[in-house]
A and B are shown apart, each in its own frame.
Chain A
Amino acid sequence: SAVISQKPSRDICQRGTSLTIQCQVDSQVTMMFWYRQQPGQSLTLIATANQGSEATYESGFVIDKFPISRPNLTFSTLTVSNMSPEDSSIYLCSVAKGGTDTQYFGPGTRLTVL
């Protein structure tokens, strides 16, 4: 299994500011994933973060808006830049153990943008 922690757990931010979300895993993993869950919706993959390389972004998400760092095999950050109320969501960090095995999720960061 994998135990994942995220910081902060929630935040209320002003329009135009940026927030960096941290994700820490208790074991080394190759791939980490960042998801967004808008109110009342299911999960949407933002990007896949591999250690030592640029993150791979899904259609509709760009690096300027959601820069990601992956400095080592247990840690990653997601920044939500120049926020607007439409960015209000739960942001979730996730890892897959063994490539195609069970996927685990962090507790999420609940972001509200005013």
Chain B
Amino acid sequence: KQEVTQIPAALSVPEGENLVLNCSFTDSAIYNLQWFRQDPGKGLTSLLLIQSSQREQTSGRLNASLDKSSGRSTLYIAASQPGDSATYLCAVRAVAAGNKLTFGGGTRVLVKP
């Protein structure tokens, strides 16, 4: 059974510092991995999708890497801003799970002005 872990559970950084968020998964047979942002009490916003054949994806200040063999993905957010404060979730679509996503527990980020 696929398990997805995100460490740390919470992170606080001063504005301008780079953010590094980690995601690990136990079954490397995946279709893709997706990073989401969730603001309190709201739905999820898709940030980046990395296919299993890709090593990284970039969008603006965001960069996500994928090392499928070691079961790891990292989301980098450059030059953090207070507006980046949110919970970040990673989710894996594993071959064994068909079309279903398995979510990590999330990392709650606070960027202090």
A-to-B contact residues, CB < 8 Å: 4, 6, 31, 33, 41-43, 45, 48, 90, 92, 94, 96, 99-108, 110
Residue of B nearest to A4 (CB): B43
Residue of A nearest to B97 (CB): A45
B-to-A contact residues, CB < 8 Å: 31-32, 34, 36, 41-46, 49, 89, 91, 93, 99-101, 103-106
Shortest distance between the CB of A93 and any CB in chain B (Å) = 9
Shortest distance between the CB of A70 and any CB in chain B (Å) = 15
The 10 nearest A-B residue pairs measured at CB:
A105-B44, A107-B43, A108-B43, A100-B31, A105-B43, A42-B103, A43-B103, A102-B49, A42-B105, A106-B43
Shortest distance between the CB of B91 and any CB in chain A (Å) = 7
Q: In the bound complex, how far is the Cα of B106 from the Cα of A18, in angstroms?
A: 30
Q: In the bound complex, how far is the Cα of B89 from the Cα of A101, in angstroms?
A: 17
Q: In the bound complex, how far is the Cα of B89 from the Cα of A82, in angstroms?
A: 31
